[in-house]
Amino acid sequence: MCGIVGFWSVSQEIDPGIAERMALSIEKRGPDDAGVWADRSVGLALAHRRLSILDLSPAGHQPMVSPCGRYVLVYNGEIYNHLDLRRDLESEGGHFAWMGHSDTETLLAALRHWGVESALRRCNGMFAFALWDERERILYLARDRMGEKPLYYGRNGGTFLFASELKAMTIFPDWQGEVNRDALALYLRHNYVPSPWSIYRGIFKLPPAHFMTVREGGQQVGVPVCYWSLPAIASDGVRQTGDVSTLTDELDILLRQAVGSRMMSDVPLGAFLSGGFDSTMVVAQMQAQNTRPVKTFSIGFHEKGHNEAQYAKAVAMHLGTDHTELYVSPEEAMSVIPRLPEIYDEPFADSSQIPTFLVSQLAQRHVTVSLSGDGGDELFCGYNRYALGYGIWSKLRLMPAPLRQALGWAMDHAPLQSLARLQRLLPKRMQAANLPDQLPKLAQVLCHREGESFYRDLISHWKHPDQVVLGAKEPETILSQSGRLANLPDLRNRMMLLDMLTYLPDDILTKVDRASMAVSLEARVPLLDHRLVEFAWRIPLEYKVHSGQGKWLFRQVLYRYVPQNLMERPKMGFGVPIEHWLRGPLRDWAEELLDEKRLREEAFFDPAPIRRKWSEHVTGKRRWHYYLWDVLMFQAWLDRWK
């Protein structure tokens, strides 16, 4: 894994040292090697930081120039089928004098031979890259299908910039960095800034599965082009038929291939293991293809309701992995908080960022690459909100509006103790550690008449963020224009598609990328192999949800490797007790950041709703920690970057 940066200026008086310093700011992404390439005649500079994974020799050095001298590549990621691509290139009559066995060299050859779009369609991997075509004077930027690797771009004055992380852009001379208040409103709704926006005005995220062209000294930026359309795949409908045994076999083979290809490495490799379905599946598939025990890692918390370490240990014992676990004290977990604005150099408020960093830190002490189990919930209908939200929507939408409003009011104002008692009355499969947080969310969205708007509010934090952010107008997003997406017949399919286009790349994958890269660990996500994604959209929904149970077909594969009784338990999020910390050890820190006078002077937020929620939370009247964490993470980010 690596970090890439570059700039293209209308001025030919460029200093390549600027690109070098930009790359140095993201050294953690690539501590093993560094390189800079510049062409003063056009005002272009590219720089790279390398974390050596494949071909540790200098043959993998970047920026990499093609043998013909026409192309220059800086690249962050892994192309898992790069050896297959080499064979395809050679079979088509290409004459390649390979200098080494790095996937960078393969990617550069593929881009030369097939062109950008065709090469992208052939690649199976996670990546972000910039390719300079010297003859045509075109700079290409591209990102992988699911958005595993980040890529920011935009203009600072008269210069076009791009980078793996925003912090690299802030190094550029005369960096402007104006906060985009509209993007800040989106952040309060989602707890992340969704693509294509960034927290800075004029700086954007290249969407997943897109590439773009830049011309004329960075002054002409083409519209991003989609080379693999997830909505189109979803809208094609069910095309996979067959009995359960046949589909289970096919899924098992695809999972084995996806995991096996991601075990390609010239450095030590392991896996995160939480004990949940997804990470257990990844580790089971790894161990089935390995003659030696796979190295697995988990962290635990002493707080009941936030600890899955005992389940991970049981899975590790059954599969026979070389397991390492670390129990983290509240003080150790909270010590990560001051580092978050540096790690996530854009406001980011998914509190599981803390344990994700801690387990990455643990793994990096033993391995350089770790496989992660993210993506299974979005692919196979696994989130509790799919079952709970859909079930309530299906029944309550038939009720008269006044009755729904009354029920919503009752749920919204129920004491926390009553919500906890209600949870114990629900079927086991619908129980969740955070149900007292989910039910008030449901209460606020019961008046919707349309499924997509219901879901948008269900997954939103601040429901009217442009009333909280001063001078903001919340932009339209995929979630607010979901009618443009595939016409899927079931709301649960539409929920999954919306999550795969938004929450997955901009929250889950961002969290994993930044946490792992902060400790120079490469994280790979095999469940997002595009062949698996396409398979999941081809099978009928009833093979994902069966008798009210999500991930049904996925479970049938898993039970070939792990006993069912080892896995059946209420779903538990990978989180920390932020709710209690804000009332206890973090209270003074939060009070300082949420001080009314400070909020008024900074003039980003209307203090009134924030102070009201803070008061209700610290007195125990309501649980507003998700809303407050959003504001606190922005305030902490503002302290570091403005």
List the binding residues for L-glutamine.
Answer: 103
CA distances from 125 to 73, 143, 194, 213 (A): 17, 10, 22, 21
Which residue type sits at 524? R
463, HSE (Cβ side, Cα atoms, 13 Å): 12
| Residue 49 host element (H or E) | strand 44-50
Render the burial of 113-135: b for 16+ CB within 10 Å, e for the rest.
Answer: bbebeebbeebbbbbbbbbbbbe
Q: In what order do the strands lie in the sheet with 269-272?
A: 322-328, 295-301, 269-272, 369-371, 522-524
Tell me how far apart the alpha carbons of residues 618 and 616 are, in angstroms, rounded to a whole number.
Answer: 6
Tell me how far apart the alpha carbons of residues 168 and 47 are, in angstroms, rounded to a whole number.
Answer: 11
Binding residues for ATP: 299, 372-373
CA distances from 35 to 48, 141, 178 (A): 5, 19, 30
Which residue type sits at 285? Q
Contact predicate 5/163, CB 8 Å = yes
Q: Which of 2, 68, 226, 447 is catalytic?
A: 2
The length of the chain in residues reads 642
- Which structure tokens are listed for 614? 């803070």
Tell me how far apart the alpha carbons of residues 575 and 301 are, in angstroms, rounded to a whole number.
Answer: 10
| Residue 323 host element (H or E) | strand 322-328
Tell me how far apart the alpha carbons of residues 296 and 283 are, in angstroms, rounded to a whole number.
Answer: 8
Is 123 assigned a catalytic role? no
Q: Does residue 137 come out as left (phi exceeding 0), alpha (psi in the -120 to 50 range) or beta? A: left
Q: Where are the alpha helices (DSSP H) in 166-322?
A: 166-169, 181-190, 230-235, 244-261, 277-288, 309-319
Q: SS3 of 573, please?
A: coil
SS3 content of the chain, % helix, strand, coil (to 5): 45, 15, 35
Query: Which residue, 195, 190, 193, is CA-closest to 208?
Result: 195
Binding residues: 103, 299, 372-373
| Residue 163 host element (H or E) | strand 159-163
Query: Which residue, 225, 261, 71, is CA-closest to 143?
Result: 225
Catalytically active residues, by annotation: 2
